[in-house]
Structure 1
Amino acid sequence: MGEALMKPVRIGAQVAPQRAAAYADIRRAAAVVEELGADMLFTWDHFFPLGKVADGAHFEGWTILAAWAEQTSRVGLGVLVSCNTYRNPDLLADMARTVDHISGGRVVLGIGAGFKEREFLEYGYEFPSAGRRVADLAAALPRIENRLAVLNPPPMGPMPILIAGGGEQKMLRIVARHADIWNTFAEGDDLVRKLGLLERYCAEIGRDPAAIEVSVHVGGDPWENGPALRELGVSLFTISTSGPEYDLDTVRRWISWRDEQNA
């Protein structure tokens, strides 16, 4: 991808609502993310903490997003990402539209197939095979798009759909058809291969792959880690942090790198 065709660099911060002493810690972190000038502020859609401490403090993502919509005024907002199984697709579209209005039109609707068996089972959901979960996501996305189109009032503007997942036979075909943003943990040769497949799947349905923003999770030194991803066309770089003392120094460094890249 030529430099002139690249989308501007954007920086996201995922403030994970886990291991926080109180919601006040999450609220303060969100305020700092906006003050720093990040482009996106993300929560997530889990019912228990991720990582080694699986039974620590935790809060639900969509209710947090609605609170952030009132608290903030500029930064984009999203759940990175909603698990398709946890909500009726039409309801999820309605929730996203409502938070979009609360925020003044700043919501990205993030969605994926889900993967944490414990969450499904302890909250009373069936935990089907990975193939079934991906098929369910494929069936849900047209419902989400149709519901967004008929809601009264509609979203405040075109609501980007962010899809997370990198399955090469099925998920990337879903991304090609429905995503405005593709979020992935892939890197190196794995990312190169997946980008090639995504381009092929877009060609099969007559869609320009440049219409899909590529989003990755990052950390460390942006001047060291960012250029190779940038050369592949990545434009949204997201740093995750967990409580109770949210460390946003890495977010600050990536924002400085963004400003150099976009100058």
Structure 2
Amino acid sequence: MSIPEAADRRVRIAVQLQPQQAEYGQIRDAVLRAEDLGVDVIFNWDHFYPLYGDPDGKHFECWTMLGAWAELTERVEIGALVTCNSYRNPDLLADMARTVDHMSGGRLILGIGAGWFRKDYEQFGYEFGTAGSRIARLAADLPRIKARLAAGNPAPTREIPVLVGGGGERKTLRIVAEHADVWHSFGDVETLTRKSAILDEHGAAVGRDTARLVERSVEVRGTPGESGKALVAAGATLLTVGVGGPDYDLTRLRDWIAWRDAR
């Protein structure tokens, strides 16, 4: 099973539980509460330091956490929004994904991006390079990831959906067109609409019907009444609410889930 094609998609609500400024017990509690609310997908992110608040505050590693979530949850899909491709050997990352896929009973989304947060690179000894070199590495590594997934024994339980995050119009969207099942966009409705059209141009160039095969994903701001209808009209069907620690207030997530259910 893979990501449904456009005609079969329903609007789904995700939450990104940002693993910062909190004890792990608070994150674990938020995962359970989000699943109980009826969310479709629970994401974390792949950083080593907080992005907001105290820059040296509490923080936890992405993939170790996803393994725990695979056992903790029963229904929701899980994944990173997004994994930094630069932090792990691509064959290792693929085998980690295959393992979490089995641990979760086939509920992993492999979210991935080129990386951008300089502090992570410098503090953990990775070469930061340039935006261009990081994007080029992502383009080179995705075929390796897919090949390693195909070679795994046992094989993944399903064709693990690949979500690529980023909005670079010339290079990143070309990678999305070639490799992704889901594209995570950043920006408002107008940005989503414009870049979605560019993605489809890349899809035509590589011989892939991205309008049909690539789901549009976006982080939502504000209330469903303010942007929900417009985002869906622009083609987005995976809508993510970002929530930070330490309290993980899910009030806004509850509103988006109610809006989804009322559609």
**Which bracket does the TM-score occupy, shorter chain normalised?**
over 0.9
The alignment yields a C-alpha RMSD, in angstroms, of 1.1
For residues 49-198 of structure 1, the aligned pairs below 5 Å read: 49-198=50-199
Report which stretch shifted further, 218-227 or 150-159. Answer: 218-227
Asked if structure 1 preserves the Cα contact closer than 8 Å seen for 2:178 and 2:203, the reply is yes
TM superposition score normalised by structure 2: 0.96
Helix, strand or coil: the match of 2:26?
A: helix
Asked if structure 1 preserves the Cα contact closer than 8 Å seen for 2:189 and 2:234, the reply is no
Match of 1:254 in 2: 256
1:48-92 deviations in whole A, cap 9, x for unaligned? 000242111101011111001000010000011100000000000
> Quick one: which of 19, 26, 33 aligns to 2:21?
19
- Deviation of 1:6 (Å): 6.7
User: Structure 1: how far apart are the matches of 2:115 and 2:143?
Assistant: 18
Percent identity between the aligned chains? Answer: 54
TM superposition score normalised by structure 1: 0.96
User: Structure 2: how far apart are the matches of 1:9 and 1:226?
Assistant: 10
Unaligned segments of structure 2, at least 5 residues: 1-5
User: Structure 1: how far apart are the matches of 2:93 and 2:218?
Assistant: 24
Match of 1:224 in 2: 226
Asked if structure 1 preserves the Cα contact closer than 8 Å seen for 2:94 and 2:148, the reply is yes
Match of 1:5 in 2: 7
User: Structure 2: how far apart are the matches of 1:72 and 1:18?
Assistant: 20
- Deviation of 1:188 (Å): 3.0
Change (3 A) 1:6 1:151: closer
User: Structure 2: how far apart are the matches of 1:179 and 1:27?
Assistant: 29
Unaligned segments of structure 1, at least 5 residues: none
- Deviation of 1:158 (Å): 1.1
Asked if structure 2 preserves the Cα contact closer than 8 Å seen for 1:6 and 1:233, the reply is no
Helix, strand or coil: the match of 1:214?
A: strand
Helix, strand or coil: the match of 2:16?
A: strand
Paired positions, count = 257
Asked if structure 2 preserves the Cα contact closer than 8 Å seen for 1:219 and 1:250, the reply is no
Instruction: Give yes or no for the alignment of 1:241 onto 2:248.
Output: no
